[in-house]
Structures are given as C-alpha cells and as structure tokens.
Amino acid sequence: MDRETHFPANINGESPPPEAETSKDHEDKRKQRWTIIGLALAGLILIGLLVVAVIYLVNPATPTTRIRDIFIILMALEFLVVGVALIILIVQLASLINLLQNEVKPILDSTKETSHTLRGTALFLSDNLVEPVIKLSGYVASMQRMVSLFGFIRKPKGKI
C-alpha cells in the first residue's frame, strides 16, 4: 500500500512521521487509563459513603425522620432530572424520525429506482447484444467443426 493511504497529509502535502501517530495513540491510551482510574475511584468513594451512611443510620440516636425527608426531596429532584432527560430523548427521537422520513427515505427511493433502471439496462443488453453474439459464436463453432469433419481444412498433426 501507499504510505499516504495510512497517514493524512499535512499543509505542505507531506505525510507525518509514524512517530506522531504512535504518540497520539499513546496519549489516547493514557487518557483512557486515567478515565478508568477516575471512575474506579468515584465508585469506591460512593461505596464508602454508602457504608458510612448505613452505619450512621443504624445508630439509635440518629434522627431518621429528618434524613428521610431529605432523601424524599433528593428523590423528587432525581425524578425531575430523569423527566427532563426523557423529554430531551423524545425530542431527539422526533428529529431522528424526521431525518429518516425527509432525507434518508428519498435517497433510498432514488437508489431503488436506479437499481431498477440498471436491471432493465442489463436485460436489454443481454437480449439485444450478448445473446446474438453467443448465438453467432455457436454457429461459427459448429461451422468450423463441420468443415473440419468433412476434411476441407486439415489441422497439423501434434495439435489437438
């Protein structure tokens, strides 16, 4: 393969060295590693907070009614956020359906029409060009065989 198919050209039309690509890959892997480490730490902190909360709530002197009220308020806020997310999802779904109906479907219809036209062209060429050429080739081959059988044209010995 050509070297330019692997690496995009820069402003001067030259290909970047392979080292630039490997350092970019290395940087992407480093970012991915830090993201995984961050998510793991966040998960561990969340588990630790849950353990501390359970230990705190098991204590008999804890005012659970106040904690319950705060938890209910937090759940209501969470439902509000989920509701907004669902509204955004429905709007995005509506725009996707609009895109499919108004842009993709006409392209598919045009492609279908083109394939039917190509099929018709292929059938026309098959019927009017290829079939007569095949018939003529068959007639010529049969005439050659007939001429060779009657002995008008002799083939040199040693050839089959």
> How many whole angstroms separate alpha carbon 49 and alpha carbon 144?
95
DSSP track, 68-124: HHHHHHHHHHHHHHHHHHHHHHHHHHHHHHHHIIIIIHHHHHHHHHHHHHHHHHHHH
* Its pTM surpasses 0.75: no
Residue of 57, 85, 55, 89 lying closest to 71 (CA atoms): 57
Cα distance between residue 135 and residue 137, in whole Å: 5
Q: Which two tokens stand for residue 52?
A: 């501390």
* Side-chain half-sphere exposure of 104, counting CA atoms within 13 A: 7
Cα Dmax for the chain: 122
Domain ranges of the chain: 1-62, 63-160
Q: What is the pLDDT along the chain (160 residues), one digit of tens a residue?
A: 444 444 455 555 555 555 555 778 888 888 899 999 999 999 999 999 988 888 887 777 778 787 788 889 889 999 999 999 999 999 999 999 998 888 888 888 899 999 999 999 999 888 888 888 899 999 999 988 888 888 776 666 665 5
Of 46, 45, 43, nearest to 35 (Cα)?
A: 43
